[in-house]
Amino acid sequence: MIGPFSDPVMQRALVEATLVGVCGGALGCWVIFYGLSYASESLAHGLFPGLVAAALLGLPLVLGAGVGLVAAALAVAVASRVPGVGRNVAVAVVVTSLFGLGVLLALSPASPPGIQALLFGDVLGANDADLALSGALALGIVGALWLLHGRLLAVGFDRDFARSLGVSAAAADAAVLTLLAGAILVGVQGMGNLLVVAVLIGPAATARQLSSRMAPMMLLSVAVAALAGAAGLCLSYYAGTAAGASIAAALVAAYLAAAFGRRSRLPITVEEVP
């Protein structure tokens, strides 16, 4: 099992997969708790053209993701104002259009080799700069979740009660979405735009089958994500399959095992709310 990780390429890939797992595992619990699973997929697809444009222009992916996110938000706001078009329809239309534009740019014959990695990921191609960026973003996301833990719990359980405590529900929602954008940016380099949502939803959904409290659920989710990353890399090494897809398959297998092993869904308790 540890044989593949004697290779420096696999070692860097394991570190990248672990960092992605820490971000996705911890934040994914809040994504599920706040009912933002669809929003996470929409956000990932919506900022895709910005990522592609940044890669084509040689700009930092962080800058491209930020521009793409702002453009997507403005497009949704404009589309929502069209008579007879609801917000959900506007989100679907805008996100689909933006994702299609990003795919056209990424798969264009004029695009340089390797740009397709933004679609499908290239965890085996992680370099020291990628690891440094992922590590910094992961540290920021985990630190923010630690600082905001009580506020996020209060809003998640009862928004009206949270207001009486002086906690803004809008600010909590904005914080989760902002951190979600950062987590997508961490994961997209290794998992690609098509598979990054698996790391955000899969580990948290698995941990949800096993724990009824948020803190243990987050720890379980991170552990599942890290172990699935290592298992997926081993599968990729021995079976010759794509690394990102292998990690996603390991996450699905973990969820199915937890789902079949735990028939009843546990309610999240309020013991942690300060």
Give the pLDDT band of residue 224 (cuts 50, 70, 90): very high
pLDDT recorded at residue 130: 77
pLDDT digits (tens, 9 = 90+) for 126-138: 778 778 888 888 8
Contact call for residues 24 and 199 (beta carbons, < 8 A):
yes
* DSSP sequence for 234-248: HHHHHH---HHHHHH
pLDDT digits (tens, 9 = 90+) for 166-182: 888 888 888 888 888 78
Strand (E) or helix (H) holding 146: helix 128-157
Domains of the chain: 3-261 (1.10.3470.10)
Q: Is the pLDDT of residue 240 over 90?
A: no
- Those residues with Cβ within 8 angstroms of residue 269's Cβ, 6 or more apart along the chain or in another chain: 212, 213
* DSSP sequence for 199-220: HHHHHHHHHHTT-SSHHHHHHH
Contact call for residues 246 and 229 (beta carbons, < 8 A):
no
The stretch 64-76 carries a mean pLDDT of 76
Mean pLDDT of the chain: 81
Q: Which of 148, 86, 96 is nearest to 274 (CA)?
A: 148
Query: In this predicted model, which residue has the larger pLDDT, 226 or 165?
Result: 226
Pairwise CA distance, residues 6 & 185, whole Å: 28
Q: Which of 158, 146, 169 is nearest to 219 (CA)?
A: 146
The burial class, CB within 10 Å (0-12 / 13-18 / 19+), for 88 is exposed
pLDDT recorded at residue 37: 79
Q: Is the pLDDT of residue 205 over 70?
A: yes
Pairwise CA distance, residues 167 & 63, whole Å: 31
